């Protein structure tokens, strides 16, 4: 006997596959959460730069790989949807690179932000619309919109916290807005008719001042900007460059990039007008800081000595900028261009110019004849280095102290022979900040990029030298930011936070100034510190070891400022990659 089964109702519908096997989206959101953590760690200034750089570059690689595995094998998407998303994920970045203002900086930005953005667009689309095929179409549309957004902007670099410096693509580039750089009649100061005038008493003829320690000895009484703020004397636009000014006999010397030409320029300290300029057909540009040379000129013996970003070492006449001699560290000494460009500033010591090249053999730290450029001696040193050698008198003997990946070296300036080498326990390269003498037998040195600071004690018995590590402190971890020393206290940047440590013990006294990755200089007679904050503000601090005492803060330059301020003839000169300004500190 057969039993008739009831017929299915005509309006009964089959259940979609998606309702039985919904998309597995939680791993995608977990991957996005991991990427978010990596981005947060990237812009956390208390973490030193190398780990932050690794988070920035490796985060998209790790999460992108994980997201691809999820998409192909875990998501439960149909295979034709997977294939469509993979094709779109490859095609859209390629199309975006063709329609964007594509360079190294934007390429890096598209990697850092584009990969996480693509992951977010796909996950959002699949979360909003779970039904096929519309979910795939929505994901492709959002993916295209995300990648096409990079065609609207350009990236001019990163600040110290690794935030991208976006500009609208159609906005003019700063270099394109600059007028032609040419000497202006009447700009030459009257007292500069002869280079025989030498170096002015209260000049700033080299990087970090007369003693190379960021301190001014001028008779300047304590400043009170609340009742009497400094008077702005002039303000000019300037080409990109991250060195500082050198000052001598009413003239300022600096470097700047203008298009494909790297300029060495002499400006009038009185009004900012250009006196002369020398240009070379070369350009250094890298992802983080952007274009422009890094080094600060030195002035001595009627000449100006300058190292460009690509390794051109030039000696010019101080009065008119004519070239006396020029060397190329890359072609003449086999030196590789460092990741962030040649940054060492020339040290002039008697008849010698001492500069880091980083070439093979003895072409590391070089001593050249100031008059001819001929090599006098060389000291072996390779790897990346961004510091300037410093002359010191330790235990009564004149030495040149130089830091590299192997540690701290004391070198005989006569022949370049090594006197002693010492590597502190926490030492890591590359060398970023200059060593600084703080006593007849003691000096401090940075331990590497964001590692810490060490104090070394030096003694000499007969001809035997002994170097000991008094302390190594992680309470002051500079990146490329130099410190100043006053009244047994060391003031400087603990990454992006201004701090003070005890010069005897290395213990922290206070911390609290939020000035980004800025630079500082000391007014000795006033007992005050001038800080050029990374955002361009000018900050006046009291040199007290009890607590952070901020006396005043003035908006000064409206852009990233990594350049050192200088003080000469009671005027402050400050520049960044866009603007230079002169302030009268004392009437």
Residue 191, pLDDT score: 59
Q: How far is CA 571 from the centre of its chain?
A: 26
Is 79 part of a structural domain of the chain? yes
Question: Using an 8 Å Cβ cutoff, are 561 and 555 in contact?
Answer: no
Question: Using an 8 Å Cβ cutoff, are 425 and 449 in contact?
Answer: no
Question: Taking phi first (over 0 means left), then psi (-120 to 50 degrees means alpha), and beta for anything else, what does residue 72 get?
Answer: alpha
Is 52 part of a structural domain of the chain? yes
Please determine, for residue 157, whether its predicted confidence score (pLDDT) is greater than 60.
yes
- Name the residue range of residue 143's domain: 17-168
Q: What sign has the CA pseudo-torsion 480, 481, 486, 489?
A: negative
**DSSP letter string, 111-125:** IIIIHHHHHHHHHHH
Is 45 part of a structural domain of the chain? yes
Q: If residue 211 lies in a helix (H) or strand (E), which one and from where to where?
A: none
Please determine, for residue 9, whether its predicted confidence score (pLDDT) is greater than 70.
no
Partner residues linked to 442 by β-bridges: 439, 457
Confidence class of residue 45 from pLDDT cuts 50, 70 and 90? confident
Residue 129, pLDDT score: 87
Helix (H, G, I), strand (E, B) or coil at 59: helix
Higher pLDDT, 445 or 13: 445
Residue 192, pLDDT score: 52
Angstrom distance (rounded) from CA 406 to CA 383: 10
Is 119 part of a structural domain of the chain? yes
Please determine, for residue 497, whether its predicted confidence score (pLDDT) is greater than 70.
yes
Which two tokens mark 222? 């304590």
**Phi, psi for residue 212 in degrees, rounded to 5:** 65, 25
Confidence class of residue 102 from pLDDT cuts 50, 70 and 90? confident
Confidence class of residue 15 from pLDDT cuts 50, 70 and 90? very low
Residue 474, pLDDT score: 94
Residue 13, pLDDT score: 47
Is 311 part of a structural domain of the chain? no
Please determine, for residue 586, whether its predicted confidence score (pLDDT) is greater than 80.
yes
Angstrom distance (rounded) from CA 204 to CA 212: 9
Q: Summarize pLDDT for 536-561 with one digit per residue, the tens.
A: 999 999 999 999 999 999 999 989 99
Is 535 part of a structural domain of the chain? no
Question: Using an 8 Å Cβ cutoff, are 314 and 279 in contact?
Answer: no
Is 114 part of a structural domain of the chain? yes
Confidence class of residue 140 from pLDDT cuts 50, 70 and 90? very high
Q: If residue 185 lies in a helix (H) or strand (E), which one and from where to where?
A: none
Q: How many domains in the chain?
A: 1
- Across the range 147-158, mean pLDDT stands at 94
By the 10 Å C-beta count (0-12 exposed, 13-18 middle, 19+ buried), 11 is classed as: exposed
Q: What value does the mean pLDDT of the chain take?
A: 92
pTM score of the predicted model: 0.92
Confidence class of residue 84 from pLDDT cuts 50, 70 and 90? very high
Q: Summarize pLDDT for 169-221 with one digit per residue, the tens.
A: 999 999 999 988 887 877 777 755 454 556 666 689 999 999 999 999 999 99
């Amino acid at each position: 006997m057969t039993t008739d089964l009831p017929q299915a109702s005509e309006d009964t519908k089959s259940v979609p596959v998606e309702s039985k096997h919904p998309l597995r989206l939680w791993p995608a959101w977990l991957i996005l959460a991991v990427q978010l953590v990596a981005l947060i760690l990237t812009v956390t200034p208390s973490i030193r730069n190398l780990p932050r750089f690794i988070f920035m570059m490796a985060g998209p690689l790790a999460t992108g790989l994980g997201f691809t595995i999820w998409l192909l094998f875990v998501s439960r998407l149909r295979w034709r949807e997977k294939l469509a998303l993979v094709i779109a994920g490859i095609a859209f970045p390629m199309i975006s690179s063709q329609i964007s203002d594509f360079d190294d900086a934007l390429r890096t930005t598209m990697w850092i932000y584009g990969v996480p953005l693509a992951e977010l667009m796909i996950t959002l689309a699949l979360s909003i619309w779970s039904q096929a095929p519309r979910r795939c179409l929505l994901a492709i549309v959002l993916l295209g919109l995300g990648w096409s957004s990079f065609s609207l902007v350009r990236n001019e670099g990163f600040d110290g916290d690794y935030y991208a410096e976006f500009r609208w693509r159609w906005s003019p580039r700063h270099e394109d807005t600059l007028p032609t750089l040419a000497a202006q009649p009447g700009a030459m100061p009257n007292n500069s008719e002869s280079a025989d005038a030498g170096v002015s008493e209260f000049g700033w003829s080299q990087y970090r001042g007369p003693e190379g320690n960021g301190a001014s000895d001028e008779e300047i009484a304590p400043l009170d900007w609340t009742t009497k703020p400094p008077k702005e004397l002039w303000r000019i636009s300037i080409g990109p460059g991250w060195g500082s000014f050198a000052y001598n006999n009413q003239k300022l010397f600096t470097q700047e990039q203008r298009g494909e030409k790297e300029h060495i320029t002499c400006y009038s300290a009185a009004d900012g007008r250009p006196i002369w300029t020398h240009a070379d057909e070369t350009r250094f540009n890298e992802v983080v800081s952007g274009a422009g040379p890094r080094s600060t000129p030195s002035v001595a013996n009627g000449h100006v000595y300058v190292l460009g970003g690509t390794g051109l070492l030039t000696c010019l006449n101080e009065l008119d900028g004519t070239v006396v001699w020029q060397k190329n560290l890359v072609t003449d000494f086999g030196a590789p261009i460092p990741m962030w460009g040649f940054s060492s500033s020339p040290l002039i010591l008697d008849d010698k110019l001492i500069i880091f090249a980083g070439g093979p053999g003895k072409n590391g730290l070089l001593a050249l004849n100031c008059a001819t450029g001929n090599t006098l001696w060389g000291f072996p040193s390779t790897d990346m280095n961004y510091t300037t050698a410093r002359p010191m008198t330790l235990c009564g003997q004149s030495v040149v102290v130089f830091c590299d990946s192997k540690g701290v070296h004391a070198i005989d300036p006569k022949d370049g022979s090594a006197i002693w080498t010492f590597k502190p326990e926490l030492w890591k390269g590359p060398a970023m900040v200059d060593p600084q003498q703080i006593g007849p037998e003691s000096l401090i040195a940075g331990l590497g990029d964001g590692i810490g600071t060490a104090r070394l004690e030096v003694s000499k018995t007969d001809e035997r030298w002994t170097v000991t590590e008094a302390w190594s402190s992680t309470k002051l971890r500079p990146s490329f930011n130099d410190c100043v020393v006053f009244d047994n206290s060391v003031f400087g940047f603990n990454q992006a936070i201004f701090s003070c440590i005890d010069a005897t013990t290395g213990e922290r006294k206070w911390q609290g100034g939020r000035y980004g990755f800025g630079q500082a200089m000391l007014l000795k007679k006033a007992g005050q510190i001038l800080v050029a904050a990374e955002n361009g503000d000018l900050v006046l601090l009291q040199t007290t070891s009890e607590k952070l005492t901020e006396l005043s803060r003035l908006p000064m330059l409206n852009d990233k400022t990594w350049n050192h301020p200088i003080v000469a003839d009671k005027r402050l000169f400050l520049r960044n990659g866009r603007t230079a300004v002169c302030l009268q500190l004392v009437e």
